[in-house]
Amino acid sequence: MSLVLRGVDKRYGAVTALDSVDLEVARGSRTAVVGPSGSGKTTLLRVVAGFDRPDDGRIVLDGTVLHDGIQHLPTHRRGVGVVMQDGALFPHLTVGENIGFGLPRETPDRARRIATLAEQVGLDASMLPRRPDALSGGQQQRVALARALARQPRLMLLDEPFSALDTALRASTRQMVADVLGAAGITTVLVTHDQAEALSFADQVAVMAGGRLLQAGTPRELYFHPRAPLVARFLGDAVILSATVADGVARCALGAVPVSDRAARGQRQIMLRPEQLVVAEGGAVRGVVEQVAFNGPFCSIALRLPAHPEPLALRQSALAPPAPGTEVGLSVQGVAHVFAAEAGAAG
Ligand SMILES: Nc1ncnc2c1ncn2[C@@H]1O[C@H](COP(=O)(O)OP(=O)(O)OP(=O)(O)O)[C@@H](O)[C@H]1O
Ligand SMILES: [Mg+2]
């Protein structure tokens, strides 16, 4: 492991921003942290960077104790690169000087090194003499990233680094950042509000709520096998149903649906993702289309089933959507996930 947090607490007065957080990040890997606003994501990065001191717990990076109550390594000795939510460039320095700020004074070939860093993050050389206020928000975020890369950190902490970018530029910038960090073998922790970004960027996704780390795992594990409904909903739309489960089958409003957990039994909550529900001519379950909303690449359909209190949310290609009021058949693809008995009850 590269980065290890054990039992990390951080309080601001009466607010518990981090509540006994445990997290492990493998060397050279990428972890995405997601969670509602105020759940402690930025605080997590701040205690790892050394901007804030935890009230309890231990933080270790590549075998070096960053904090454990006895030892507390100052920020500049942690080998950690940081791009915070607000970018925080120096307004009185040029773009080039901002990037160069991360380089030691005596760096040979300083100017060329700055040019290389700018190029790595896709900034044109013509921008180097400008001041940050003469750049777009997205370009400023790239400068902040280049400045952080200049220090050749072991660990890079990114807090919503793509938030100022439109969808297309966001995807290409994300790929560029992943490539640059991957090539340099830098362990990365990224905070994002974008579920798709978290799932596609990261090797590990960590979901936070109320200062607690609810679950960490691979994107697939969290998307298809979340521990609790709260985690499920945070990573995308979820169809959650009550069911009677036995012998690998859940009996629910959708009929008999196979489940992933053959050992699960009894009254349980199950989950399917909307894309697992497909409107099909011969579908065994019938429902009435209540609403159809156009979303571009797909349309969202609210379908009323006879045996379920609320309409189900599903989606399909927007090319030929069913009309509201029509009765359609439904088939279920893949298997349903069964929530742990107590987690299901709580969610
Ligand atoms: N310096 C501070 N003083 C007092 N409370 C703080 C301070 N910094 C953060 N908090 C509180 O700690 C909690 C966690 O804040 P944090 O910034 O970590 O949330 P976040 O998950 O990054 O939210 P967002 O998604 O909105 O950026 C919030 O309730 C916040 O108000
Ligand atoms: Mg934040």
Residue 42 to residue 190: CA distance in whole angstroms: 10
- Identify the CA nearest to 201 among candidates 175, 227, 182, 229: 175
Task: Name the residue with higher pLDDT: 264 or 104.
Answer: 264
**pLDDT reported for residue 176:** 85
The whole-number average pLDDT for the span 97-125 is 90
Q: Which of 33, 39, 52 to mutate to test the pocket of ligand 1 (most atoms within 8 A of CB)?
A: 39
Per-residue confidence (pLDDT) for residue 106, from 0 to 100: 84
Q: Residue 99 in contact with residue 143, Cβ under 8 Å? A: yes
Q: What is the pLDDT of residue 293?
A: 94
- Which token pair is 62? 């590549």
- Confidence at 346, pLDDT banded by 50, 70, 90: very low
- Dump pLDDT digits (tens) for 65-79: 999 989 999 999 999
Could you report the per-residue pLDDT of 125-178, keeping only the tens digit for each? 999 999 999 988 888 888 998 999 998 899 999 998 888 777 777 888 888 888
| Token pair 């901007």: residue | 51
Name the residue with the closest Cα to ligand 1, atom 11: 17
Please tell me the distance between residue 40's alpha carbon and the centre of ligand 2 in angstroms.
Answer: 7
CA of 40 to the centre of ligand 1 (A): 6
Q: Using pLDDT thresholds of 50, 70 and 90, give the confidence band for residue 347.
A: very low
Considering only the C-alpha atoms of the chain, give the largest distance between any 2 of them, rounded to a whole number of Å.
Answer: 74
As a whole-number percent, the residues of the chain with pLDDT over 70 amount to 98
Is the pLDDT at 100 greater than 70? The verdict is yes
- Answer yes or no: is pLDDT of 341 > 90: no
Residue nearest to atom 31 of ligand 1 (CA): 38
Give residue limits of the domains in the chain. 3-230, 237-346
What is the residue with the minimal CA distance to atom 30 of ligand 1? 38
Nearest ligand to the C-alpha atom of residue 38: 1
DSSP for residue 40: S
How distant is the alpha carbon of residue 20 from its chain centre? 20
Q: What is the mean pLDDT of residues 229-258?
A: 94
Average pLDDT, the chain: 91
Residue 204 CA, ligand 2 centroid: distance in Å? 19
When pLDDT is averaged across residues 280-300 and rounded to a whole number, the result is 89
- List of E strands, the chain: 3-12, 15-25, 30-34, 56-61, 64-67, 80-83, 155-159, 187-191, 204-209, 212-217, 239-246, 249-252, 255-258, 266-272, 277-279, 285-294, 298-304, 312-317, 327-332, 337-338
Interval between CA 154 and ligand 2 midpoint (Å): 22
Tens of pLDDT, residue by residue over 176-185, are 888 889 888 9
The model's confidence at residue 85, banded by pLDDT at 50, 70 and 90, is confident
Pairing verdict, β 285-294 and 327-332: antiparallel
Would you tell me how many other CB atoms lie within 10 Å of the CB of residue 346? 12
Give the per-residue pLDDT at 248.
96
pTM of the model: 0.90
Angle between helix 167-184 and helix 137-150 axes, rounded to 10 deg: 0
Residue 121: is it exposed, middle or buried by C-beta count within 10 angstroms (0-12/13-18/19+)?
A: buried
Q: What is the pLDDT of residue 344?
A: 43
In Å, what is the CA distance from 80 to each residue of 50, 59, 121, 160? Answer: 9, 13, 18, 17
Report the 10 Å Cβ neighbour count for 283: 17
State in Å: Cα 45 to ligand 2 middle: 9
Residue range 262-274, pLDDT digits in tens: 999 999 999 999 9
Shortest-distance Cα residue to atom 1 of ligand 1: 12
Atom 27, ligand 1: which residue's CA is nearest?
37
Pocket residues: Cβ below 6 A from ligand 1: 12, 15, 17, 35, 37-43
- pLDDT score for 345: 47
Structural class in CATH, domain 3-230:
alpha beta
Q: Mean pLDDT over residues 300-329, rounded?
A: 90
